Amino acid sequence: MSRLSYDSVDVLIYDPVPSNRTATRATLYALGFRRTETVSTIDAFVEAVQKNPPDIALCETQGASEELCATIQQMRQGGASYNPFMVIIVTAWEKSTTLINKVVSSGADDLLLRPFSVAQLGSRIETHIERRKSFVITTDYVGPDRRKDNSRASNAEMFDPPNSLKMKAKDKMSSEAIARKLDAELKSAREKLTSEKLRRDSFQVCILWRLMQEETIVVGQVSPDLAKLQALTKSIEVRSQGTEFEPAVEWCGSVLAAAEGLSLGVDRNASMHLLGHGALSLHQVFHPEKSAADQLSEIDATVTIIRARTQAEALAS
């Protein structure tokens, strides 16, 4: 690891336990890290990321694993004021299946079991410099590609995330060169993240509309599918503003109005019709190359798979 230099790398440690923070900082110091900030709360972690995005973050799960993983997942979804692609290593004292699933689903790069040695941490960090996994973008996940079977077909587009840790530790670029390269790569990656999220989320809105057609709507109650549809549509509305997809904003309004009509019990048939029209029109904004027939065919094929999987799971249980 002598070829790597960590003296200019910015590190952020989140850990609610003072002794853990001290131990982690000492281990990093032994590896050559000299620019290390520590915080004791998740709120402080988020604030630090926004004010001075680190090149690598080490986050402890003790006491708040669910909140931490939800925070990482939200960060990976992208933001204009920070680097959502920073290297993130989660630490824990025990590895349970539940914890592993949470960390994997959050989009973190790694999970490291405590207590760890200088060599163990150094090896993990070197891996994320030399062989960091490509990232994938789906409706619910942005992070390292962890598919076990690479032969399985997938329409998830992979890309190499900006890696300022590598720029500083291995490439040893000047601060000015790093700033220029990172800005350019972040701009490109954010554009990719935004466009891919919009395409996938609009498709998911159509899927939810189809699934809801067979649901029983209870007036005054918002079903999980309807709640997710509303949340996705609001996210699309925000992401589309000021982009080439500005026309999507109007269709988001139509979808949300129809969804509100469903939740209030306003003429279910009419509301579902308006919802379908709005959802398909919204999807068309991001897939102008597809005809209406092609859209419906792809949507219905996916819905068929979802329903078959749901039925199989119900039978198994």
Residue 97 belongs to domain with CATH number = 3.40.50.2300
Instruction: Report the predicted TM-score, pTM, of the whole model to 2 decimal places.
Output: 0.86
Residues 63 and 208 in one domain: no
Residues 269 and 203 in one domain: yes
Q: Residue 81 has what pLDDT?
A: 61
Residues 19 and 168 in one domain: yes
Q: Residue 152 has what pLDDT?
A: 40
Q: Residue 43 sits in which domain range?
A: 10-172
d(CA 57, CA 42) in angstroms, rounded, equals 12
* Residue showing tokens 């919204």: 282
Residues 145 and 214 in one domain: no
Residues 205 and 237 in one domain: yes
Residues 140 and 30 in one domain: yes
Question: Does residue 187 sit within a domain?
Answer: no
Question: Does residue 143 sit within a domain?
Answer: yes
How many distinct structural domains can be found in the chain? 2
Spans of the chain below 70 pLDDT: 1-2, 79-81, 148-156, 217-221
Distant-in-sequence, close-in-space partners of 92: CB < 8 Å, separation ≥ 6? 60, 61, 62, 65, 99, 103, 111, 112, 113, 114
Residues 162 and 291 in one domain: no
Residues 165 and 215 in one domain: no
Question: Does residue 188 sit within a domain?
Answer: no
Residues 219 and 143 in one domain: no
d(CA 136, CA 160) in angstroms, rounded, equals 9
Question: Does residue 179 sit within a domain?
Answer: no
Of 117, 137, 172, which residue sits at a domain end?
Answer: 172
Question: Does residue 273 sit within a domain?
Answer: yes
Question: Does residue 229 sit within a domain?
Answer: yes
Residues 210 and 145 in one domain: no
Residues 127 and 200 in one domain: no
The number of residues making up the chain comes to: 317
Residues 150 and 23 in one domain: yes
Q: Residue 153 has what pLDDT?
A: 42
- Cis, bond preceding 84 (omega within 30 deg of 0): no
